[in-house]
Structure 1
């Protein structure tokens, strides 16, 4: 499961004080799905899941442009098929 897939952002975000326009996503595990259950809202669950599979903090994910986040969420859903 070491293979990661790149996701290019149209609007860069700051990750660990470095501007980045690409997130590297790993496949989703059952543990990731289980972990997101602590969140009460669907948006919170999505933010946590993206954070876990990208290695980027939830705080940084929350600064993403909404259009980028929606495209990323669609890609993440594809990982479950």
Structure 2
């Protein structure tokens, strides 16, 4: 069984004035693989496949919460499917 995403490795970055939560595996030299959290969930939707993707990918792996979900901040104008 794969390990779940560890909350200890979460980071935040400011994008357009919003604090966005993300995680990356910091390995690989290729084009990054980006996993956007599915609407209306958080990046924890990837916890079962994170280790598999990380082990298989030769490129960096990045997952993030879209604005308003998980621990990313929201803005009313962005809260629409």
Above 0.5 in TM-score? no
Structure of greater relative contact order (alpha carbons < 8 Å, 6+ residues apart): 2
- When normalised by structure 2's length, the TM-score is 0.25
- When normalised by structure 1's length, the TM-score is 0.25
Flag the structure with larger Rg: 2
Higher helix residue share: 1
